[in-house]
């Protein structure tokens, strides 16, 4: 048995079942070792951003790590954008990066690079294997780090000789010892009770990702009803439960000029499983944070603590009775020749099946859907946590492999989709049940909005040209077909409804190009 084979045995023994990979020469023994470990499913991505994005989607939906295999520093660099999103989502992941043999590094071969320095900004844990005898145990350490609350990317750098050298097969492999979510102490919950009774009408609870599943959302609604405090959600969640069965709370607006007045009357901000809200960008005349400077900032639960249980405990400490989820009117099914964001949102909210996983990278065109989906059947939504576009299609791959019994819907902007177009090929190769709803507004519309916000109301040909996707037109149906994915185009509400029905009821991947 060599080091690679023992590494994969140790990971499989401890629950790793998926490996997303784009390997090269230095990873060949890791690749061969997959033939000895049938418990781990190998999935090829044609670009490393697909690999890391898929591992992100898998980890968010399964709550356990997938592993990746990346080729040296350049391969890691190609995957960094989606590792950034995974870091912001606290996604558990064992990120395996091959390196030159230990004795070849000093020769400074063409592909040699400082892999630890590339990995550290996007990783919660980084380690370089020193010998084949240590490879399996180092893999278990990576698994422990990835699974420790709140979850994170653990990057294991593996020199090639540590994969091919023989090891003692009988030597025991340690078991992982992750650090779980901490329990919020009762006195901290009691202090929140006192603060809410004192400032309830002027208080706001800000829910992070790990507070946004059913039990936490229902407890937050109880707290809101009992205290008159507002409940809002922060940023883009790594995973949130939505639908007619759970309470829905407003998001802090994206633009500072909206977020600041939205929170202007707040005197007490309580963080629940998150850090203080921050604007995406610095803007002239605006603060970095939307919280009023005189508002008290306190934490009920940190991202490494059990926010959902803390909300349930706070509701109990307030003697807050259960609150019924209000019935929400469903939108009308659109029809006719018109087609815009509102018609898209209504059709998708009405047609998506129960238990769907919606990977939302709609950017500027999905707000109507998000509002209307509060009346939809129960579903999960994965968001673009770190803001690095090109996450949606790969994350849909990972979510579909993590949850093969659920329909995945990739609600995808066209400009962002071009970053990781290769995901379509992996969807077809793996026969994944993914419906891609491709929003073709033929622009980087968010950048056109930002030009106007910067006071550039009449951009010239150069500046406008850097936001326009029409020259030449991108034919998404042809691109999908070329990757082995069924494709249809919708230019009217009637065509959209027909195409969505077909896609959502067809096995394997399919794409609907929606002209907006």
Asked if 33 contacts 7 with a C-beta cutoff of 8 angstroms, the reply is yes
Which tokens in the block code for residue 136? 């399996």
Q: Please state the rounded mean pLDDT for residues 165-175.
A: 96
Reply yes or no: is the peptide bond before residue 150 cis, omega within 30 of 0.
yes
CB burial of 191-222 (b: ≥16 within 10 Å; e: otherwise) equals: ebeebbeebbebbbbbbbbbbbbeebbbbbbb
- pTM comes to 0.96
**CA-angle at 271, arms to 268 and 275, nearest 5°:** 125
Give which of 497, 127, 204 is closest to 336, Cα–Cα: 497
- 364: pLDDT confidence band, cut at 50, 70 and 90? confident
Please tell me the distance from the alpha carbon of residue 63 to that of residue 283, in angstroms, as a whole number: 36
Confidence of residue 77 (pLDDT cuts 50, 70, 90): very high
Q: Which domains does the chain have, with CATH numbers?
A: 3-164 (3.40.50.970), 186-317 (3.40.50.1220), 341-515 (3.40.50.970)
Widest distance between CA atoms in the chain? 71
Q: What is the pLDDT of residue 147?
A: 98
- Cα(79)–Cα(86) distance, rounded to whole angstroms? 11
Query: For residue 452, what pLDDT is reported?
Result: 85
Rounded to whole angstroms, the Cα distance separating 502 from 327 reads 29
User: Going by DSSP bridges, is the β-strand pair 408-413/379-382 parallel, antiparallel, or unpaired?
Assistant: unpaired
Per-position DSSP letters for 368-383, written without gaps between them? HHHHHGGGSSSEEEE-
Give me the pLDDT at residue 469, please.
85
Q: How far apart are CA 82 and CA 22, in angstroms?
A: 14
Is the model's pLDDT at 409 over the cut of 90?
yes
- Residue pLDDT, tens place only, 270-297: 999 999 999 999 988 889 999 999 999 9
Residue of 269, 222, 230 whose CA lies nearest to 251: 230
Rounded Cα distance between 269 and 263, Å, is: 9
Assess whether pLDDT exceeds 90 at residue 231.
yes
Sheet arrangement for strand 434-440: 240-242, 379-382, 356-361, 408-413, 434-440, 510-515, 486-490
Whether residue 260 has pLDDT greater than 90: yes
pLDDT band at 201 (very low <50, low <70, confident <90, very high): very high
Please state, in angstroms and rounded to a whole number, the distance separating the CA atoms of residues 441 and 367. 14
pLDDT at 512: 98
Closest CA to 408 of 387, 382, 375: 382
**Rounded to an integer, what distance in angstroms lies between the CA atom of residue 410 and that of residue 285?**
37
Query: Can you give the pLDDT at residue 235?
Result: 80
Asked if 514 contacts 417 with a C-beta cutoff of 8 angstroms, the reply is no
As a whole number, mean pLDDT of residues 365-383 equals 95
Q: Output the pLDDT for position 356.
A: 98
DSSP helix/strand/coil, 96: strand
Q: Is the pLDDT of residue 428 over 90?
A: yes
Query: What DSSP assignment string belongs to 405-429?
Result: TS-EEEEEEHHHHGGGTTHHHHHHH
Supply the pLDDT for residue 463.
Answer: 84
pLDDT value of residue 128: 98
**CA gyration radius for the chain?**
24
Q: Which 3-state string (H, E, C) describes 301-364?
A: ECCCECHHHHHHHHHHHCCCCCCCCCCCCCCCCCCCCCCCHHHHHHHHHHHCCCCEEEEEECCC
Q: What is the pLDDT of residue 164?
A: 98
Residue 230, pLDDT above cutoff 90:
yes
pLDDT of residue 215 exceeding 90, the answer is: yes
Q: Residue 441: what pLDDT?
A: 87
pLDDT tens digits, one per residue of 454-504 = 888 888 888 888 888 888 989 999 999 999 999 999 999 999 999 999 999
Model confidence band, residue 176 (pLDDT cutoffs 50, 70, 90) = very high
Average pLDDT, the chain: 96
Among the listed ranges 48-57, 126-135, 333-342, 458-467, which one has the minimum average pLDDT value?
Answer: 458-467
Q: Name the packing angle between helices 307-317 and 214-227 (round to 10°).
A: 30
- Across the range 87-111, mean pLDDT stands at 97
Q: What percentage of the chain reaches a pLDDT higher than 70?
A: 100
Stretch 407-432: mean pLDDT: 97
Q: Which residues contact 9 (CB under 8 A, 6 or more apart)?
A: 36, 37, 136, 173
pLDDT at position 464: 83
- If you average pLDDT over residues 358-381, what whole number do you get? 95
Does the structure show a pLDDT above 90 at 445? no
Do residues 436 and 487 make contact, with C-beta atoms less than 8 angstroms apart?
no
Which pLDDT score, from 0 to 100, does residue 204 have? 98
Tell me the pLDDT band of 308, cut-offs 50, 70 and 90.
very high
């Amino acid at each position: 048995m060599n080091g690679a084979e023992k590494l994969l045995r140790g990971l499989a023994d401890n629950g790793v079942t998926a490996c997303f990979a784009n390997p090269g020469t230095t990873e060949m023994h890791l690749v061969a070792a997959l033939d000895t470990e049938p418990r781990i499913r190998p999935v090829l991505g044609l670009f490393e951003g697909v690999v890391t994005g898929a591992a992100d989607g898998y980890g968010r939906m399964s709550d356990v790590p997938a592993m990746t295999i990346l080729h040296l520093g350049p391969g890691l660099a190609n995957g960094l954008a989606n590792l950034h999103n995974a870091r912001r989502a606290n996604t558990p992941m064992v990120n395996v990066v091959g390196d030159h043999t230990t004795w070849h590094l000093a020769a400074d071969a063409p592909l040699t690079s400082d892999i630890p320095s590339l990995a550290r900004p996007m990783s919660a844990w980084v380690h370089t294997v020193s010998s084949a005898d240590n490879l399996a145990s180092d893999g278990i350490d990576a698994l422990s780090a990835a699974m420790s609350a709140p979850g994170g990317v653990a990057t294991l750098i593996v020199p090639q000789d540590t994969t091919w050298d023989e090891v003692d097969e009988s030597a025991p492999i340690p078991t992982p010892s992750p650090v779980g979510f901490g329990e919020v102490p009762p006195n901290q919950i009691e202090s929140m009770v006192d603060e809410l009774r004192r400032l309830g009408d002027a208080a706001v609870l800000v829910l992070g990702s790990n507070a946004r599943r059913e039990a936490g959302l229902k407890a937050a609604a109880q707290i809101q009803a009992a205290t008159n405090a507002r409940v809002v959600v922060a940023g883009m969640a790594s995973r949130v439960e939505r639908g007619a069965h759970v309470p829905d709370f407003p998001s802090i607006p994206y633009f500072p000029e909206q977020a600041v007045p939205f929170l202007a009357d707040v005197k007490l901000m309580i963080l629940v499983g998150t850090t203080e809200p921050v604007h995406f960008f610095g803007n002239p005349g605006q603060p970095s944070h939307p919280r009023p400077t005189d508002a008290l900032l306190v934490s009920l639960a940190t991202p490494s603590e059990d926010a959902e249980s803390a909300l349930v405990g706070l509701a109990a400490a307030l003697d807050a009775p259960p609150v019924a989820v209000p019935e929400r009117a469903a939108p009308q099914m659109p029809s006719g020749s018109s087609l815009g964001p509102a018609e898209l949102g209504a059709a998708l909210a009405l047609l998506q099946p129960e238990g769907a996983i919606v990977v939302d990278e709609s950017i500027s065109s999905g707000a109507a859907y998000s509002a209307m989906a509060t009346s939809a059947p129960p579903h999960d939504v994965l968001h673009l946590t770190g803001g690095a576009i090109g996450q949606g299609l790969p994350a849909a791959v990972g979510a579909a492999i993590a949850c093969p019994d659920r329909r995945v819907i990739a609600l995808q902007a066209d400009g962002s989709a071009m970053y990781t177009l290769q995901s379509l090929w992996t969807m077809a190769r793996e026969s994944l049940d993914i419906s891609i709803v491709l929003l073709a507004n033929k622009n980087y519309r968010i950048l056109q909005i930002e030009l106007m916000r910067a006071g550039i109301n009449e951009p010239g040909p150069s500046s406008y040209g850097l936001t326009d996707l029409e020259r030449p037109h991108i034919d998404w149906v042809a691109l999908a077909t070329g990757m082995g994915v069924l494709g249809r185009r919708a230019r009217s509400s009637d065509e959209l409804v027909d195409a969505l029905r077909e896609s959502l009821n067809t096995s394997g991947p399919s794409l609907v190009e929606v002209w907006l």
